[in-house]
Amino acid sequence: MGICKRAVLSLVRKKGKAILLFLIFFLVSALLLTCFSILDGTRQAARDLRTKIGAVFYIRPYTQMTMENGTVSEGSTPTISRQSMEEVIAIVGEELRAYNTEHYGYAKSDRLRFLPGTGDSEASNMGQVTAVRYSKLTDVFLSEEYTLLAGRHIEPQDKNKILISAELAAENDLEIGDVIPLTHAGLDQRDGLYIDTIPEKTAFVEAEVVGIFQCTNSQDSPDAPTAGKSVNHIFSDSHLLVNLQEQQDGIYEGEIAFYISDPLELEHLLEQVKAVDSIDWENHILRENDFQYEQIAGQLQSMQNTALSLIVIAAVLSMAALMLILMIRMRSRIHEIGIYLSVGKSKAEILGQFALENWLVLTSGFCLALLLSVLCSELLNQSLFGILTEATEIAALQTGGKSDYLNPEFLRSVLLFFGESCAVLLTVLASSMMTLALKPKEILTKMS
């Protein structure tokens, strides 16, 4: 009779013991599987949390003043080209949630009467234009200095769309969807008077009003010219300024903001961005903002570490308990070992049978645990975590986060099973060896 058959018979005929052992293996396996899924889950949740908060870095034009003969002279406005931007985008890669560009100009229109500021005249009745990819990601909207009242924001695919203030819309009877002609303009001051630097109009654009905003908290200087008043501010896409010949296609004057998903990646990304040669770093600065993440970084990290410690401890202790229980069980089989030895079975054969028995029980216990954990993780994911709601502006830009927090991965399960098998076999081996190391006579004395 082979050891396999004996192992099976031992399990089948001693059902009570086998079932208890099975339950123990099942419980420990379930514990380990749950623990490791949870560990994984906390990692994902933490990443998710970090991603929700996100981080941003800006490449800002920052002209270095040069002193020449005591007078400060400023060079031409520093710009960033689309090519440099694309290099940065490539570096940021999958972490990129959105990026925003800014470029500035002025616009006038026959159809528009801008609200007059200091020294308003026919020539200086113009509005300031900020051309962006996303208007909602501009400082004034993010800090809620401005709020969108109606319509929608400017988006990257827009062409010749504009956002105007409620006051300007009211002054000119404009509504969302209205199309108005715009022409280029430039503001300067001569002899205390504001003038238009582009008196000859050659560029014209039909712009559609897509949104109306309100300037809630902005502080205008009492002496601001017409174009300096917040209510005359126009947001547009870059096409508009390009069409008005106030912007070179693919060249940006203003800051470029890169919104990234995981704040932990920020530092690493910044280092690579700094190495982009095509950006004029003499006249640009990098500024990062992961302040909100930093505030909770400590706690978040410590939560993750707490989870890690807990799970490591639970895993180690449960394995230890498992091994101890097995040892007790093996000790109660001294009698059997004695009999097998006395009928001439070799130690290897006895060991083999015991190891096989335990391994078989372990396998079935583990399989049940795995099955249950797969089923439960789906249930848990549905009931506990639900569908993550995308909350606000920046979060809405990202692609939906993975909500499957708990999912026993195949490889991990295999590793766990391997680990458990090793522990079980080792324990069987160790505890049987203790018995087998005794003299046969001692075993037989202990038997009776």
Partner 1 sequence: MNFFKRAIRYCWRQKLRSTLLFFIFTLLATASLIALSAGHATAEETSQVKKTVGASIHIEIDKNNQSNYGEGIQNGNGVTYQYNGDYITQDVIDAIAKVDGVVNYSAQSDGGYWGAAMDFEYFSGSFNIDYTGGHGQSVPYTVTLNSELSSNFLNGTYTLEDGRHITPEDSYAVLISKELADKNGRSVGDSITMYDLDSDSENAFKIVGIFSGTEGMSKDAMMSDEIPANQGYIDMNSYNEIFHRTATELGSLDVYVESAENVQDILKTIQNLPELKDKTFTYSTDTENFDFISNPLSSLQTMMDTAVLVIALIGAALITLLLVLWTRGRKKEAGILMAAGKNKREILLQFLSENLLISIPSAAASWGLARLSCSKIGAFLVNQTSSGMTDLHMVIGSADLAAVYGIGILLLILAVLLSATTVIRLQPKEILSQMD
Partner 2 sequence: MNLLEFYDLKYSYNGQQNILRGVSGKLEQGKLYAILGPSGCGKTTLLSLLGGLDIPTSGQILFNGKDIRKTGLAAHRRNHVSFIFQSYNLIDYLTPMENVALTSKLPPLPVLERLGLTKEESKRNVLKLSGGQQQRVAIARALASEAPVILADEPTGNLDEDTAWDIAKILKESAHQMNKCVVAVTHSNELAKQADLVFRLKKGELIMQ
DSSP readout, 186-253?
-EEEETTEEEES--S---EEEEEEEEEEEE-S----TT-BGGGSGGG-EEE-HHHHHHTTSS-TTEE-
Among 335, 364, 421, 423, binds partner 2 (CB under 8 A): 335
| Helix and strand counts by DSSP (H, E) for the chain | 13, 17
Other beta carbons within 10 Å of 223:
9
How far is residue 307's CA from residue 320's CA, in Å, rounded to a whole number? 20
Decide whether 187 or 240 has the Cβ nearer to partner 1: 187
Tell me which stretch binds partner 1 (CB under 8 A): 24-32, 79-87, 167-175, 437-445: 24-32
How far is residue 24's CA from residue 307's CA, in Å, rounded to a whole number? 24
Which x/- pattern over 353-392 shows residues binding partner 1 (rule: CB under 8 A)? ---------------------------x---xx--xx-xx
- Is residue 104 involved in binding partner 1 (CB under 8 A)? yes
- Could you tell which of partner 2, partner 1, none binds residue 339, using a CB distance below 5 to 8 A set by kind? partner 2
| Binding to partner 1, residues 196-215 (CB under 8 A) | none
- Is residue 437 involved in binding partner 2 (CB under 8 A)? no
DSSP 8-class letter at 8: H
Spatial CB neighbours of 349, under 8 Å, sequence gap ≥ 6: 3, 340
How far is residue 166's CA from residue 183's CA, in Å, rounded to a whole number? 21
- Is residue 10 involved in binding partner 2 (CB under 8 A)? yes
- Is residue 123 involved in binding partner 1 (CB under 8 A)? no
Tell me which stretch binds partner 2 (CB under 8 A): 4-12, 173-181, 323-331, 417-425: 4-12
- Could you tell which of partner 1, partner 2, none binds residue 440, using a CB distance below 5 to 8 A set by kind? partner 2
Decide whether 14 or 268 has the Cβ nearer to partner 2: 14
Nearest C-alpha neighbor of 108 from the set 126, 128, 130, 129: 126
Among 245, 295, 342, 382, binds partner 2 (CB under 8 A): 342
Spatial CB neighbours of 343, under 8 Å, sequence gap ≥ 6: none
Residue reference for tokens 């954990």: 373
Spatial CB neighbours of 391, under 8 Å, sequence gap ≥ 6: 52
Among 43, 152, 345, 412, binds partner 2 (CB under 8 A): 345
- Are 254 and 133 in contact by the 8 Å Cβ rule? The answer is no
Which x/- pattern over 401-420 shows residues binding partner 1 (rule: CB under 8 A)? ----xx--------------
- Residue 139 C-beta-side C-alpha neighbours within 13 Å: 8
> Nearest approach, Cβ of 183 to partner 1 (angstroms)?
19
Among 8, 81, 111, 118, binds partner 1 (CB under 8 A): 118
- Is residue 60 involved in binding partner 1 (CB under 8 A)? yes
> Nearest approach, Cβ of 347 to partner 1 (angstroms)?
21
Among 3, 7, 11, 38, binds partner 1 (CB under 8 A): 38
DSSP 8-class letter at 118: B
- Are 265 and 225 in contact by the 8 Å Cβ rule? The answer is no
Which value, to the nearest 10 degrees, does the dihedral of the CA atoms of residues 116, 118, 119, 123 take?
A: -40
- Is residue 295 involved in binding partner 2 (CB under 8 A)? no
| Binding to partner 2, residues 12-41 (CB under 8 A) | 12-14
- Could you tell which of partner 2, partner 1, none binds residue 9, using a CB distance below 5 to 8 A set by kind? partner 2
Tokens of 436: 């087998």
- Are 128 and 104 in contact by the 8 Å Cβ rule? The answer is yes
- Could you tell which of partner 1, partner 2, none binds residue 307, using a CB distance below 5 to 8 A set by kind? partner 1
- Is residue 317 involved in binding partner 1 (CB under 8 A)? yes
- Is residue 9 involved in binding partner 2 (CB under 8 A)? yes
| Binding to partner 1, residues 245-284 (CB under 8 A) | 253-255, 284
| Binding to partner 1, residues 124-153 (CB under 8 A) | 128, 130, 139, 142-144
Decide whether 96 or 330 has the Cβ nearer to partner 2: 330
56: three-class secondary structure by DSSP: strand
Binding residues for partner 2, rule CB under 8 A, total: 24
Decide whether 177 or 391 has the Cβ nearer to partner 1: 391
How far is residue 32's CA from residue 292's CA, in Å, rounded to a whole number? 35
**Residues at the contact surface with partner 2, assessed by CB under 8 A:** 1, 6, 9-10, 12-14, 335-336, 338-346, 439-441, 444, 447-448
